[in-house]
Amino acid sequence: MKNYSYVLEFSNKTVSKDLIVKALKYAWQYTPSKNNFMNYSVHVIGPENKNLRQSLYYKCLEQQMKANNQKAANLDDYDKYLHDKNQIPNFKNILSAPYIIIYTQRVCKSLNRLQELNVKNGMVFEQTYEKGTRKYDSANKNSRVEVGMFSANFSSKCLKLGIDISYIACMPTELEAWQEPEWNFISHRPIIIQLAGYGEVYKKDVINPVIDLKPNFDEVVNIL
């Protein structure tokens, strides 16, 4: 992870699908999960899905505008917003990233033998409950934690293979924002977006890292 650097623009250099699958399988194999449910989905958008990139970019831009108390009626309003702000959002890297990963919650319907035995013995697993239930909402907390671990393992393997990664959290999380037919695979609320490819322009190339530091170690870690 010491090789991590946020990518503002990805190169058009082809990324081997086999390497991406290798990193995904590594994350799947080594990410722990509560009761082995892995109650999340990992949706991988490859280079051929060009139509989804522009749509996803505008969704993230709309989310940013909402956060800044701005409103947009159409795509021209988005472009005007960027022009007025005189800035390019970091998540414009969506447009150049060869691989985009969207993590969402998942309802677990297929149980392993131990899970089945536990259910027969009266155990209740929140990971198996459908949307609209209190237990489904409760399971979201766990899926978010595990997605963080999966994406970190995926990142670690990608970086070891020489592939850059970036994270995006500025996105709509309400399912109502994902109703277009091309997004029909998003049936649960998105948790985070991750990008993978070969970096061309990095954030450190544009912004001096000295003015954008993390909090001090002691501000974050409390050793008793």
Provide the CATH number for the domain around residue 142: 3.40.109.10
In the beta sheet, which residues pair with residue 45? 100
pLDDT attached to residue 86: 62
Q: How far apart, in whole angstroms, are the C-alpha atoms of residue 15 and residue 9?
A: 15
Domain that holds residue 49: 7-220
**Residue 200, class by beta-carbon neighbours within 10 Å (0-12 exposed, 13-18 middle, 19+ buried)?**
middle
Give me the pLDDT at residue 62, please: 86
Q: Can you tell me the distance from the alpha carbon of 7 to that of 196, in angstroms, rounded to the nearest whole number?
A: 9
Q: Is the dihedral of CA 84, 88, 91, 94 positive or negative?
A: positive
The answer as to whether 129 is a domain residue is yes
Q: Report how far residue 102's alpha carbon sits from residue 190's, in angstroms, rounded to the nearest whole number.
A: 7
Pairing of strands 40-45, 99-105: antiparallel
Whole-model pTM: value is 0.92
At position 84, the amino acid (one-letter code) is D
The SS3 of residue 18 is helix
pLDDT value for 80: 73
* The dihedral sign for the CA sequence 199, 214, 209, 2: negative
pLDDT of residue 209: 86
Mean pLDDT by 10 residues, the chain (224 residues): 88 97 98 97 94 91 83 70 71 95 97 96 96 95 97 97 96 92 95 97 90 93 95
Domains in the chain, number: 1
